[in-house]
Amino acid sequence: MGKPNDLVQGTLDLLILKTVSLEPKHGWAIAKRIQQISNEVLQVQQGSLYPALHRLEQKAWIKGRWAETETGRQAKFYSLTAAGRAQLEKEAATWSRLSGAINLVVEST
């Protein structure tokens, strides 16, 4: 029941920020989207999204707003804030540097 380690947490944050960067989405949609885009490779336990979402909201990187879905139900939609966008760019850059470096190491042998 320990907390996800830094890498996983940081990655999850990045995924969420990226996912809501295009348009506001509610929790379930975010989970579905991550799953779909990654070709079902990233199987996030859906529930663990929520602590992450609320933490990001506390940091004011995303903003939650209750609104109606297409089916006419109330859901909490998360959208990226200006600060969130900056954070996304920073984390994306870090990620590509890191993954690039790991690629180099893995492929050089």
Partner 1 sequence: MQWSHQVWMRFQTFFRRHRFTEQLSDEVRFHLEEQIAENMAAGMSPEDARYAAMRLFGNSTWLKEETRATWGWLWVDEVSQDLRYGFRALRKSPLFTTVAVLTLALGIGANTAMFSLLDQVVLRLLPVNHPEQLAIVRETGNHYGNSYGPNTISWPMFEDLRDNNQAFSGMFCRFPARVTIGYGDRAAQISAELVSGSYFRVLGVGTALGRTIAPDDDAVPDSQPVVVLSYSFWRNYFDGDRSIVGRTIALNGHAMTVIGVAQPGFDGVELGAPAKVFVPIMMKTEMTPHSDGLKDRRRRLSWVTAYGRLKPGVSLEQAQLSLQPLMHSILEMEVQQPEFTRSSTPEDREPFLRNRVELLPGSENDLREDMRRPLWLLVALTGAVLLLACANLANLLLARATARERELAVRLAIGAGRARIVRQLLTESLLLSAAGAAVGLALAFLTNRVLLRIYLPADAAAEFVVSPIPDARVLAFVAGAMLLTSLVFGLLPAVRGSRTEITLSLKDRSGAPSAGGISLRRMLVGIQVALSLLLLVGAGLFVRTLRNLDSLGPGFPTDHLLTFRIDPSLNGYSDEQTKSFYQRLDINLQTMPGVDSVGFSAMALLKGYGWQNAILGKDFEGAPMEQQPVLSEVSPDYFATLGIPILAGRAFTAQDVGPAKYAVINESFAREYLPGRNPIGQRFGLVDDMEPVSPDIEVIGVIPDRKYRDLRETPPAQAYFPYLEGVHFRFMNIYLRTQVDPRQIEDELQDRMRQFDPHVPVVGLETMNEQIGFSLRTERLVASLSGVFGGLATLLAVIGLYGVMAYVVMRRTREIGIRIALGALRSNVIRMVMREAFILIGAGLVAGFSLAMALANLIRSQLYGLNARDPWTFLGAAIVLALAAGSAGFIPALRASRVDPMRALRHE
**Contact set with partner 1 (CB under 8 A):** 1, 26-28, 31, 45-48, 50-51, 53-55, 57-60, 66, 73-76, 81-83
Which residue, 23 or 99, is less far from partner 1 as judged by CB?
Answer: 23
CA pair distance 47, 81, nearest whole angstrom = 23
Closest approach of Cβ 62 to partner 1, in Å? 11
Euclidean distance between CA atoms 78 and 34, whole angstroms: 15
CB of 90 to partner 1, least distance (A): 14
* Closest among 4, 30, 17, 12 to 63, alpha carbons compared: 17
What are the tokens at 62?
């995303």
We find the least distance from the C-beta atom of residue 3 to partner 1, in angstroms, to be 8
Reference 84, options 16, 34, 9; nearest CA is 16
Considering the complex, state which of residue 50 and residue 97 has its C-beta at the smaller distance from partner 1: 50
**Cβ-based nearer residue to partner 1, 50 or 99:** 50
Q: Looking at beta carbons only, is 58 or 109 nearer to partner 1?
A: 58
Residue 18 one-letter amino acid:
K
